[in-house]
Amino acid sequence: MIKRQVPDAGGRRRHGLPYGFAEVAVASLLVAAAYCGAWTCSIEPALHAPTAQSSTDKGQAARHGRQARGRHTDAQKADGSASARQVETPQGQGQGAPAPKGKLAIDGDASLSAAPSVASLRQAIFDFEARGYVVGICARDLRTGVTITYDADADFYTASAIKGPYVISVFQELVDAGSLDAADAYHYAQPIILNSDNDAYVALSDRLGRSCFAAWLRQGHVEAGAYPSVDAYAAPHYPHSTARQLAQEWAHAYDYLASGRGHSDALLALLANRAVSPIRDALGEKCQTLSKAGWYPVDEGIADPVTNDAGIVMGPRGPYVVAILSNAPEDFDAVEGIAAAVDQALPRAVDAAACYPRKRTSGSSRTPNCLSTSS
């Protein structure tokens, strides 16, 4: 490389910069400027893009089954009717309001979409999802049919939440029909419902099979969910369920438990005294609740980490059925917060006093919308 010699102030020649240095420097600056401009146009906006998941990521997060079962996106409403208009609630009330990742919808009462209590439910869901969890919700007012759903057709590992509907089917289909001794059935039902005993549940299921459960599901017009048929859904001890399915199951159970027929009173008393229930813990003594929770702490085999609860609520906003399914790993407090927010979001019952029988005297009659745990 040829170096230039330039005179200094005294006229002496000193070595200067190489020939062409200035041209190379200018060219380098131009290339750097072009690169920075391209970064600003193409890369920087991605850093400030919305944090919402893509439709593909969202679908993967909502699916918790390990088999390629496919989700039903055209499932019926919890009451089996598509006549009521479904309204998607606004994603936020005011600037900076939280927006859950899924769709919170009201079916049957569009006025609820702007209610502060629904905004509180949206906040509770947002907080739940901020912890990295996924949730599916279906709650239906049994008087009016008003239904609140949030990702109600996403399927989750049901865990022990399926035990309640299965035991109810055994009593309604077999015990009341005289084909199974009541004391024998109660021997299994007591530990299953009160303490969520896995051994008793599997023993009863293996002994009786799942056909009575499938027949009971069909009678209640319960959907197949992520399975090809109701029989396929009923077959496993612990299937995957959607919140919509479990809400339908408990609506069917309500018709039996509120009727006073057969052995429904004994079964009702068991359900009211289960040991674990986020729904019961959220609503406290102001409500009478009948539900069966399910939970699993780890990802293991066919089981996924979940915390679920589903059942019937009687009280100021009842009667209604509610199902809350989530992938929260044995996090009862998180689901408890969702249950409290759902309760507040449903409209208050006008006839709450008439449909809240904490005690029932001997000889008194049931009203169609009321349950009682007393003998």
Q: What is the pLDDT of residues 330-375, one digit of tens each?
A: 999 999 999 999 999 987 754 433 343 333 333 333 433 445 433 2
Dihedral sign for Cα atoms in the order 202, 207, 210, 213: negative
pLDDT tens figures, 21-56: 444 444 454 444 444 343 333 322 222 233 333 333
In angstroms, rounded to a whole number, what is the distance separating the alpha carbons of residues 128 and 203?
A: 36
**Which of the four pLDDT bands, split at 50, 70 and 90, describes residue 20?**
low
Considering the chain, what percentage of its residues have pLDDT values greater than 70?
66
Q: What is the DSSP track for 346-361?
A: SPPPTTTTTT--S---
**Which of the four pLDDT bands, split at 50, 70 and 90, describes residue 88?**
low
Average pLDDT, the chain: 75
pLDDT tens figures, 219-267: 999 999 999 999 999 999 999 999 999 999 999 999 999 999 999 999 9
In angstroms, rounded to a whole number, what is the distance separating the alpha carbons of residues 329 and 299?
A: 9
Distances (CA, A) of 146 to 119, 182, 251: 17, 36, 13
Q: What is the pLDDT of residue 80?
A: 37
Residue 267's nearest CA partner among 351, 355, 199, 166 is 166
